[in-house]
Chains A and B, each alone.
Chain A
Amino acid sequence: MIWYVLMIFVWISWLVVGWKINYPPTIEQLNLIMINVWFMRIVSLLCICLSLFFLSKVVKVQGKWLVLVLSISPVVWGLWMCHPIICLEWLVIAFLIWNWQKAGYGWRWIVFILGIVLAFNLWQTKERSPFFYQLSLRDAQRQVIERLSAEDGLRDKVSMPLFIRRISYNKFYFLFKNVIQEVIKYPDLETWFFGETHPLQQKALPLFLWPVVFLFGLGLIITRKSTIEWRVYVVFLVLGFFHFITSGGEIWIRFSMTMWILALIISEAVRSSYKKWIIWPVYLISFYGLALWQNDILKRPDYWLDNRPLVFQFWYESLKNCDWKSATKIQVSSVVGDTSLYCRYYFGKSCDDRFMFSGFSWNEVKPDKGYYLGFAGEYVGSEIKNNIDRNWMSLTEGAGGQIIDKKIIRDNIAYGFGNEVAVVRKY
């Protein structure tokens, strides 16, 4: 009973948060299909729900707690809000894992499943995983030479015989070093559990809220008495790790499949302890944390989520409120990426050849009449340290522009061009 109540409460709260933020579509969503973003989100949500269903079938007794643990994760919310391909990946992989279990845990299945994970990762992002960058012998060779030169260039040094240095200063060892340095980034407790107060303030949704870390510790202790087949643990761990090293992009996306093994361990703790009053404070603080975090993202969506779609949304929605139909030229900045997909999303067939998608600099090239959607630095000149003139608005107006709308953005997404974006009409 309590499980159903919590599930209803959690999922309704997430839907309300998503609805209120009304985050614009991501590039990934627009690349897939150019229709209403909420339709896409509902489909993604269904994929997530089905994947949770299959996962709960795999772990049986702990299943419902696994579903609850994943449901309170901000990352799961972020996935169905922004990343439909990963939602689909979750569904496909969960379904395959379920079949793998039914087929008697054959290891050949796992190779196939890992292949599917790799395919999804290549599809989902054009950014290559940092891991693949480490696999270059040429880079390793370059690093060896740089290191040897740096040591030899010292004016005060301990001279080690070259043959000793060469034992570990060679391209093969450096390749190994680079690979293992990438691998050991995986067990990252801060990113897994302390996203809310991450010491590097990295832009990432928290995988789990911090009180859950205690349940994770408890779960690790309790797994020795687990009723779950040990191969399920191993495969979840391998999947999480493989997804991490083969995917690029934002850190929370790279860790998204690691959540399965973490949630599995946490669900062990929940299953065995939810009736013990001594653990209740942890649950209470976790749910309080959930409410607090939802409140936080309602206040600061631009802090937690990618700012670029918010900027594109601002530009195009502001433009919609103008007399844009009479314009002969509408230039949209490409400083933070091509926005042509957004143009078609917001303007449909009206996004015609009057729209130009490239950066501009009023300082260098005299602008034609029309609308200019860009960053402050594009109107008054970029500045290498991002110190754009505070009077950029009056300077822009002095150059014949009328500022239709402007907005301050939180992070330096276009360093050198300032933290303000605007829609300007040039007469």
Chain B
Amino acid sequence: MFYRIILTIIFVFNVILRVGWLENQPSSMNFDEAALGYNAYSLLKTSRDEYGNFMPLSLRSFNDFKPALYAYLSIPVIKILGLNQTSTRLVSALAGVVALIPLFWFIRYFVKQKWLAIFFWFIISLEPWRLHYSRTAFESNLSACFFAWGAWYLFESIIAKKIPVKKLLMSIVSMVLAIYSYHGARLAVPILIFLTIIDPIEWFIVKRFNLTKKIFWSTGLTIVIVGILSLPIFLENGNLILTRLKQENLIARYSPFAPTELIESMKFDVARLAASGYYFGSMVSGRLLSSFSPVNLTSRIYHWVKGSDQYIPQFGLLGWLEGILLVIGIVVILRELDYKKYRFLVYWIVAGSAPAAMTWTWFHPLRALNIMPALEMVAIIGSITIFYKSIYKWVGVFVAGLWVLQIIFVINNELGYSNVEIHGEYQPGGFKEGIPLLEKLQKNYDQILIDSPHAQSYIFFLFYQAYPPEEIQKYASIRPQPGIGGDLSFDFDKYIFTKYDWPNQKDYKKTLWWVIGEVKESEIYRETGTNIYRIGNAVRDHEATIITKD
């Protein structure tokens, strides 16, 4: 009974930390969050996305064709709470909570002592990534949740003596939902199932190909079912769905891979091809391994992560202690590969890392989310080794104490501090604070000129004032077509996205300007009928300026 009470307390504590204060921590939305929220709102109101596509499986959004499941799941929440930051983030927050259940089952399987298992569950449930990614609307967090459920049922299926059909079905459903939630799972799911069936490590170690008919048919069937169920995504938009892959793939950006000076000095095409192949191999395997490189997971922050919504100040994805325990765990697992349970973790990590291997960024936290539960299990296995094998029990107690302190730091960091550092380009401030004022003012003006350095900033004007979706759908034909990069803003209604140029624009009548940053107020006040409103954000008193001229 006491055990259950403690479990419930931990669970409720996790719910509070994920669901609480979503409106102001993180203080403002990034553009992907706003797009998810607005499309969900659009689906709620019109059954169409912002482009007018009827019940799509992929949201065209910024021509990146986001999987639409997150938006569909957000519809009832938005219906109840209205379109705001909380309602947009709630699905991710709840996914973060629900993902704790398979995590507990995994921990319980690997840690035989129940109180120790509870302790690990408590610690791991508050990993920096679990808290951070649950508090922002990320489709990848939803996908990671489904993936973890699918992995658990798959795991249960393969360790059972008799394959449980119900659990296999549960695994299929969860995996398909993961596929419908995020791009990465589309590759990770079939690879995980394939590796689990073939079990190449066992073949390598034990030198026998242990593929029984029963396993072959059941898991083969799983792949086929998963394939068929995910087919609609690919059929819906044909090659447009591959747009995202085209934007992000490694080949387009780095070809011919080898250093130019090296390639240029080679006389024969064959030599150039071989050199390119060699460096391509390095890039792919490096990206694959980067997803579980301890330094990436704990401390190294790449410049493409810093300032983005994925950035967790002071951390990678895991806590610092877990970085050390992860190394120990990796060594233990690699030495114990005779056991199916450890091999499964290896397959999970390889499958989850595979999508990242073909993208241009070396290490991308969002694409690593699917493997995080597996890595956490590896860290737990590392810590069990310390707990059981250390000569002095106080070492274990000491590590546990440090872990609890780390958790307190993580909570402070996420709820208290992260706003200080994440107001970069991707988490722009000023829109949330200024748009309500803009809404009040705009009816008196004929045009609204917006000068914003933020990419796709139009979405904030749609999101924060819950702009009628049926109106915005009318502009679908004039919006930039898929494959076009850069700023995707477009003029709609009174809104015109243009550069602020007061000397040439000062004669405009009935105009409102939205300018990010400082303006020369004395110049503006020289004109009659002008007014200036300074807009702050979480970290600064002045982030944007609204200028009105009658």
Contact = CB atoms under 8 A, between A and B. Distances in A.
Contact of A155 (B296, B362, B412, B541): B541
A200 interface: yes
A160 B412 contact: yes
A173 B320 CA distance: 13
Nearest to B265: A299
Given A155-B541, A176-B402, A224 B299 contact: no
Interface residues of B, number: 62
Most buried by A among B283, B324, B334, B537: B334
Contacts of B320: 177, 180-181, 184
Contact of A157 (B285, B416, B536, B541): B416
Contacts of B406: 168
Interface string B315-334: 00000110110010011001
Contact of B278 (A160, A177, A217, A289): A289
Interface stretch (A82-90, A190-198, A339-347, A393-401): A190-198
Most buried by B among A154, A193, A224, A295: A154
Interface stretch (B147-155, B182-190, B211-219, B286-294): B286-294
Interface string B409-431: 10110011101100000000000
A353 interface: no
A144 to B, nearest CB: 11
Most buried by A among B21, B278, B411: B278
Interface residue tally on A, bucketed by range: 35 or more
A292 interface: yes
A189 interface: yes
A154 B539 contact: yes
A185 B282 CA distance: 21
Nearest to B361: A199
Given A184-B294, A190-B295, A285-B278, A168 B409 contact: yes
Given A196-B282, A210-B281, A221-B334, A292 B262 contact: yes
Contact of A296 (B262, B336, B420, B540): B262
B405 A184 contact: no
B27 A156 contact: yes
B411 to A, nearest CB: 8
A128 interface: no
Contacts of B160: none
Contacts of B402: 176
A300 interface: yes
Most buried by B among A176, A180, A186, A285: A180
A226 to B, nearest CB: 10
Contacts of B335: 220-221, 223-224
B140 to A, nearest CB: 20
Interface in B93-124: none
Given A156-B24, A184-B323, A211 B408 contact: no
A153 to B, nearest CB: 8
A213 B285 contact: yes
A264 B262 CA distance: 32
B25 interface: yes
A185 B299 contact: yes
A104 interface: no
Interface in B180-215: 205
Contacts of B314: 177, 181
A150 B417 contact: yes
B259 A300 contact: yes
B334 A184 contact: no
28 contacts: A151-B417, A155-B541, A156-B24, A156-B27, A156-B538, A157-B25, A158-B415, A160-B416, A168-B412, A169-B409, A177-B314, A181-B314, A184-B298, A184-B299, A187-B293, A187-B294, A187-B323, A188-B294, A188-B295, A190-B286, A190-B295, A210-B282, A220-B335, A295-B265, A299-B261, A299-B262, A300-B261, A303-B259
Given A154-B419, A188-B300, A210-B286, 19 more contacts: A154-B27, A155-B537, A156-B538, A158-B24, A164-B412, A168-B412, A173-B409, A181-B314, A184-B299, A186-B295, A190-B296, A194-B282, A197-B279, A197-B282, A197-B286, A199-B290, A199-B302, A214-B285, A289-B278
